[in-house]
Structure 1
Amino acid sequence: MRLVVGLGNPGPNYARTRHNIGWLVVDEVARRWAAAWRKEKDAEVAEVRVGPAPGARVLLVKPLTFMNAAGKAVGPLVSFYKLEPDAMLVVQDDLDSPFGLLKFRLGGRHGGQNGVRDIIRVLGTDAFPRLKIGISRPPAGWDPADWVLSRWREEEADTLAELVRLGADAVEAWAQHGLAEAQGRFNGTDLRPKLPVPSEETPQPEPGVS
């Protein structure tokens, strides 16, 4: 069994906010494999078999405790299934990465992400992999707490849809092939618009030279 935790907040008011991109990714994985969500203690869970039969057994998890208490939902599941930390992947938003960037990371500090912070506190270790999806730092004048709870703008919709699709691909790769291969495939993902390459101008003759 592998656990994939999509971080977010419950309720319709938070459904399309930046903080909930982890939920969007696990929802997409569940949709692909026609899995039904069910309530289990402090989380919604859905079991899927990822990949060719028999497939990798994965439990998708959406904590219902609100972000700051995500560990309350995750800890009992890790304990019940007797999982080592590397058998759990946390899908999270990342303020310190530009919107359009996606990367895997193993362990390390929480970086101010309160859901990750609480999971580390409850488990007593930070040695679990994360799939970090960039939402960018807030614009000037925005408080970070307000920014993560803000809704996606219309002009971000296409990039968001592609990030969610690739995030689900990345989760499936991790479940089937492990962290190293998933990092190799997805850590270069960057959906930011590319700057145009300057065209080479025809050199102009110097004055007096024909």
Structure 2
Amino acid sequence: MDTWLIVGLGNPGPSHAGNRHNVGAMVIDELAARAGATLRSHKARAVASEIRIGTLPGGAPGPRAVIARPLSYMNESGGPVAGLLSFFKIPVEHLVVVHDELDIPFADVRLKRGGGEGGHNGLKSITKSVGTRDYLRVRVGIGRPPGRMDAAAFVLKDFSGAERTELPFLLGDGADAVEKLVTEGLEATQQVFHSR
């Protein structure tokens, strides 16, 4: 059974920890908690842990996966991702990137393989470093900024009070989507999450 690399995007440091832009990294923390795993420092400028992800039909543990958060800033995510793929000898077809998505309403999760980056600097950096856009994405909706607020400012703000009460459900959905994606495939997972 092949190994997967699941990377959650965000910016490093406590000042960014609650930002909307860090929701991908938060999903990785949720997956680590589910697996009882501790993310440890890796030479690829990331924190990572090897786990079994999800459960196969019949109850057997799911596939092997490396879950990771780059320690670089968002716009330099590509270096750590390429480094992890190389170190663990994982093909880019088994790369899953979990990231925030402005074009999806808050609390919705969508999945796709490939496509554009929609101005997302983390995705642009990964595409450049791995040499293809053809990797899997779990897109965690954070909604559009209110009024005339700049999108760049909006993603670097923490979730609102109302959003924070919903956040555990959103992170749970993000982690569920990752688990289903690696155990059952893209189409089956899209059918569940895109029909909500």
Q: Indicate whether the TM-score tops 0.5.
A: yes
Residue equivalent to 2:49 = 46
Aligned CA RMSD, in angstroms, stands at 1.2
Check the 8 A contact 1:3/1:88 in 2, yes or no.
yes
Structure 2: gaps spanning 5 or more residues: none
1:88 aligned partner, one-letter code: L
Residue equivalent to 2:18 = 16
Mapped pair 1:30 → 2:8: no
Give the 3-state SS of the residue equivalent to 1:32 in structure 2: helix
Cα separation, 2, equivalents of 1:28 and 1:109: 27
Structure 1: gaps spanning 5 or more residues: 190-210
State the 1:4 CA deviation: 0.5
Give the 3-state SS of the residue equivalent to 1:20 in structure 2: helix
1:49 aligned partner, one-letter code: R
Q: In terms of Rg, which structure is larger?
A: 1
- The 5 Å alignment of 1:162-181 reads 162-181=169-188
- Given candidates 74, 77, 82, the residue that maps to 1:67 is 74
Residue equivalent to 2:62 = 55
Cα separation, 2, equivalents of 1:96 and 1:174: 21
Give the 3-state SS of the residue equivalent to 1:36 in structure 2: coil
Residue equivalent to 1:76 = 83
TM-score w.r.t. length of structure 2 = 0.92
Mapped pair 1:109 → 2:112: no
Cα separation, 2, equivalents of 1:106 and 1:22: 16
Cα separation, 2, equivalents of 1:95 and 1:134: 6
2:48 aligned partner, one-letter code: V
State the 1:156 CA deviation: 1.1
Check the 8 A contact 1:28/1:168 in 2, yes or no.
yes
2:42 aligned partner, one-letter code: E
2:157 aligned partner, one-letter code: S
- Given candidates 90, 95, 118, the residue that maps to 1:88 is 95
State the 1:73 CA deviation: 0.5
Cα separation, 2, equivalents of 1:98 and 1:9: 22
Give the 3-state SS of the residue equivalent to 2:37 in structure 1: coil
State the 1:54 CA deviation: 4.2
Q: Which runs of 4+ in 1 moved over 3 A?
A: none
Residue equivalent to 1:6 = 8
Give the 3-state SS of the residue equivalent to 1:28 in structure 2: helix
Give the 3-state SS of the residue equivalent to 2:116 in structure 1: coil
TM-score w.r.t. length of structure 1 = 0.86
State the 1:81 CA deviation: 2.7
Aligned length: 189
Give the 3-state SS of the residue equivalent to 2:38 in structure 1: coil
Cα separation, 2, equivalents of 1:64 and 1:187: 31
